[in-house]
Amino acid sequence: MNRKEQLEAEVSKTLELLDRIPQVEASARFRAQLMQRIDSVEPASRSGITASAAFSPKVALLALLLMLNIASGMLLFMNEAPQSAASVSGTLAESFSEDYGSPALSYYDDQSALGR
């Protein structure tokens, strides 16, 4: 048997190990442990759901953002609400007089009216 054949024989012998793997039966301990673990996981997960719903940081952040949003909206609305039409027109008139009352624009003034 040459070296290559020898190598191939070793390889196939090694791969044959996989065909010889026996069937494994679940032991009695396995079933008992599994039932115990499932029983212990179930109540924990149930209480975990309620606790996570109550204290979830995501939910808390969302609620905080919503509250901030509502509060800032209300503040803006409350500041704008008292402004009546009269006060708005007053502000506009004041702004106009400031803009056009400067000395640079004084040639617009009616000089004849001043002499009267």
Partner 1 sequence: MVINTCYRFVFNREDAEDIAQEVFIEVNRSLEKFREESKLSTWIYRIAVTKSLDHLRRQKRKKRFSSLKRMIGIDDPAESLPAPDRDNPADVLVGNERADKLRNALDSLPDNQKTAFLLSKYDGYGNQEIADILQTTVPAVESLIHRAKKNLQTRLEKEFRSEQ
Q: Which residues bind partner 1 (CB under 8 A)?
A: 3, 7-8, 10-11, 13-15, 17-27, 30, 33-34, 37-38, 41-42, 45
Spatial neighbors of 1 by CB under 8 A, at least 6 apart, are: 9
Judged by beta carbon, residue 11 or residue 59, the one nearer partner 1 is 11
Minimum CB separation of residue 59 from partner 1 in Å reads 21
Judged by beta carbon, residue 15 or residue 86, the one nearer partner 1 is 15
Mutual angle of helices 57-80 and 28-55, in 10-degree steps: 10
Minimum CB separation of residue 39 from partner 1 in Å reads 10
Judged by beta carbon, residue 4 or residue 116, the one nearer partner 1 is 4
Query: Is the distance from CB of 80 to CB of 73 less than 8 angstroms?
Result: no
Minimum CB separation of residue 53 from partner 1 in Å reads 17
